[in-house]
Structure 1
């Protein structure tokens, strides 16, 4: 609960701080004309009319069209990744809410220095190249997001349900249990168990519990028993997040787990935090650079209408990614779905190659000169 509150507060403070900084630093262009007598209806009508006009005129701005195609792809992929991250962490990786919320908070704090760093990088190697670097960062992040994998529980303390033997009474007590929304109940071959923390179970009642957990398809938790006649017995449910091998891409997280996560002893929650830091480093830079590059290839004197269209494209771009994610999840699994979203980001990065910034800036300057003379 505390982590959730901190994450929500961090989002608010971060957004407010960036807004204040923007208002103080970015100069407001002089107002050239004031539209008087606008009603709510006429304002909406005027906005859509100018949007249609801008769309028709975009044909004269070939570089802008190519860039918008690239932006439509890579922004769709990035926004989809951000949208499904929480569900992917909880459902596929079994990450606790506290780690999820802590990751959100970390992203907010890391995003600011990340954006500043990419700003300096753009000054050195140009905006387009810096944006490509940011998108390559997203590609690596998604690749390792697919590679995240819970470690197989080995020690007694690693398991979800931990039962300990009480010598004095000869029974077992549930020493630790996961924080679940619903009470854990298991029925198997006429037997019934509930495993609330602090519950006491007789040795006879536990005799078939490990086998029941292993045989019950929907069980995604693990069990370990210490002490007494059942000392050392453990079981993983068939749906436990650490069990890999059935999915088309499960070889990848299995490989990375054996190569990186297990040697480092890095639990999946900390793997997720590491991904969060990486996201924070690139999210601010990729968003800021995308807008900066667009500003370079659009007429300054028509920035309002062009950026209104850019904002419209930002909202409209979140179409392909969610659709692909839903279909891939239904046909395969969530890891394949996330990898499929990666292809959209890759496609957008490739299309960005054909964006000629110098040519776009030249056409934009000519348009500024034309409107100034008009």
Structure 2
């Protein structure tokens, strides 16, 4: 039977399942495009470039990675048990509904962060809760896949689900981008940005109604009624029994280890990309949103492209090709570097001299923490803001302050004698503070500067290339696992799949935080590259057909 020959009712169920990808991908795009940028701004307004937590000197991107690790760890410890519980009681769809409600409501609550004493902390807590809803719900969504379609159509339906997600998430992001661009120079930008974030929660829970309406609840493992408490106790026992007997699925076990390694690298790159771009490279909100939008619309045909490649070369070979792409792009991204400000209008703060008086003509960007420090060296009757008049002595004091302390700020003064400039030692263009500066300098001096390609364009180029491989790697990793899973234990085994994924989502961000604290953020990205290479090498030892036969024998 061909896919097109499936009944109209079956196609309706498949489309209903795919619509959940459409619904929750609004959150998936926002946690890369908008939420981390907003969090970095809140964090830097409160603490500056870094803050000391848990004995580590953490940047905003490192703190963001800890938020991801915390939410993933909660799902990691609860996912397998709840998955086994869902198998026993036939409540996979109900568990998906619960996680969807948690995630969407927490997303909407992010809107209220400015109304609390510590906005960054409220935002942090809401994001952790929302991310629990997102990654926990995704496990149960994945567990429905083997019940939606026959095994031979798993690749096609999995890819279609990702395609729905990329298009749905991309459409919402396009709407948000249009709104943010129209309010860029408005005092209402903060309000508009928070409204965009809150709308993601409405989109998520609204579109998912189609999934809950069209996709039937799979039959429970046994027909007799089970008391909930007894079932939960049995679920714990079943989890430990599955761990004990995992040797019965040797091929699946090897694949899970490979998956742990390469998804550790990929998932962490994706989850910290927005924060890394804003914190380390100085990528703007609009540029980051535009990049993720490009990723979304390229990833959709990318997922379908790799589905075709899998049909021609096998899913395993197609996944290896996608991983080669990821490795190359990560090496490429380590060479990204902002241009050193040169022209007067490229500086964060532009000051002009008129009749021996200095006037702040324009402030493009300055964090509240840096603004507070500068205001402390000015007379009490003056505030560092647009149109403020300053004396020569005050200008010299500001330049001395920036030179002798840690600032991201860059300032240019257009004086009668010429242009005087200063760039803070934490400015994104100062790449000498990173261990891999030799590689970044090599590419910046021979590619970015000669071609006059700034950081925002570099980021857009990355998005264009990344989208091709992202859709393929995600869809193929999921469908390969589904091939080797016993169908009657799908929720439990996808619980373990989520467990491995969550382990990666814990270890990856934690290692990013530790490496960036001990060395720097680019060394942290390099550590993720090594994991991708190790996972790809181990994947070569996975015989999918043999793993499929093992699953069928045990079912």
Normalising TM by the smaller chain, what interval? 0.7 to 0.9
Alignment check: 8 A CA contact 1:76 1:321 kept:
yes
* Cα 1:320/1:219, change in 2 over 3 Å: same
Which sections of structure 1, spanning at least 5 residues, go unmatched? Answer: 369-374
**Does residue 1:68 correspond to 2:232, yes or no?**
no
Q: Which whole-Å deviations, capped at 9, do the CAs of 1:163-214 have from their partners, x for residues lacking one?
A: 1233xx44222122133341625569x877963222222345435654553x
- CA deviation after TM superposition for structure 1 residue 352, in Å: 0.8
Alignment check: 8 A CA contact 1:321 1:344 kept:
no
Alignment check: 8 A CA contact 2:374 2:384 kept:
no
> TM-score, normalization: structure 2?
0.58
How far apart in 1 are the matches of 2:515 and 2:486?
Answer: 40
The partner residue of 1:201 within 387, 390, 393 is 390
Alignment check: 8 A CA contact 1:296 1:361 kept:
yes
* Cα 1:9/1:279, change in 2 over 3 Å: farther
**Does residue 1:244 correspond to 2:431, yes or no?**
yes
Q: Which whole-Å deviations, capped at 9, do the CAs of 1:196-234 have from their partners, x for residues lacking one?
A: 222222345435654553x223121211122423x2211
- CA deviation after TM superposition for structure 1 residue 63, in Å: 0.6
> TM-score, normalization: structure 1?
0.83
How far apart in 2 are the matches of 1:216 and 1:194?
Answer: 21
* Cα 1:120/1:74, change in 2 over 3 Å: same
How far apart in 1 are the matches of 2:434 and 2:221?
Answer: 60
How far apart in 2 are the matches of 1:245 and 1:222?
Answer: 16
Query: What is the match of residue 484 of structure 2?
Result: 297
* Cα 1:254/1:9, change in 2 over 3 Å: farther
Which sections of structure 2, spanning at least 5 residues, go unmatched? Answer: 1-188
Residue correspondence of structure 1 range 334-353 to structure 2 within 5 A: 334-353=521-540
* Cα 1:250/1:21, change in 2 over 3 Å: farther
Question: 1:235 aligns to what SS in structure 2?
Answer: strand
Query: What is the match of residue 319 of structure 1?
Result: 506
Alignment check: 8 A CA contact 2:349 2:365 kept:
no
How far apart in 1 are the matches of 2:303 and 2:227?
Answer: 38
Question: Which region of structure 1 is more displaced relative to structure 2, 200-209 or 132-141?
Answer: 200-209
Query: What is the match of residue 553 of structure 2?
Result: 366
Question: 1:77 aligns to what SS in structure 2?
Answer: helix
* Cα 1:278/1:27, change in 2 over 3 Å: farther
Question: 1:317 aligns to what SS in structure 2?
Answer: helix
Query: What is the match of residue 38 of structure 1?
Result: 227
- CA deviation after TM superposition for structure 1 residue 68, in Å: 0.6
The partner residue of 1:91 within 279, 285, 291 is 279
- CA deviation after TM superposition for structure 1 residue 32, in Å: 6.5
How far apart in 2 are the matches of 1:80 and 1:89?
Answer: 14
Question: 2:244 aligns to what SS in structure 1?
Answer: helix
How far apart in 2 are the matches of 1:27 and 1:36?
Answer: 19
* Cα 1:223/1:294, change in 2 over 3 Å: same
Query: What is the match of residue 176 of structure 2?
Result: none
The partner residue of 2:467 within 272, 280, 293 is 280
**Does residue 1:178 correspond to 2:361, yes or no?**
no
- CA deviation after TM superposition for structure 1 residue 312, in Å: 2.4
Task: Pick the structure with more helix per residue.
Answer: 2
- CA deviation after TM superposition for structure 1 residue 78, in Å: 1.9
* Cα 1:9/1:262, change in 2 over 3 Å: farther
Query: What is the match of residue 306 of structure 2?
Result: 118
- CA deviation after TM superposition for structure 1 residue 335, in Å: 0.8
Alignment check: 8 A CA contact 2:410 2:423 kept:
yes
Query: What is the match of residue 516 of structure 2?
Result: 329
Number of equivalent positions:
362
- CA deviation after TM superposition for structure 1 residue 237, in Å: 1.4
**Does residue 1:262 correspond to 2:413, yes or no?**
no
How far apart in 2 are the matches of 1:90 and 1:367?
Answer: 49
Question: Which region of structure 1 is more displaced relative to structure 2, 137-146 or 272-281?
Answer: 272-281
Alignment check: 8 A CA contact 1:164 1:173 kept:
yes
**Does residue 1:220 correspond to 2:408, yes or no?**
yes
Which entry has the higher C-alpha Rg, 1 or 2? 1
Query: What is the match of residue 372 of structure 1?
Result: none
* RMSD value, Cα: 3.3
How far apart in 2 are the matches of 1:248 and 1:47?
Answer: 48
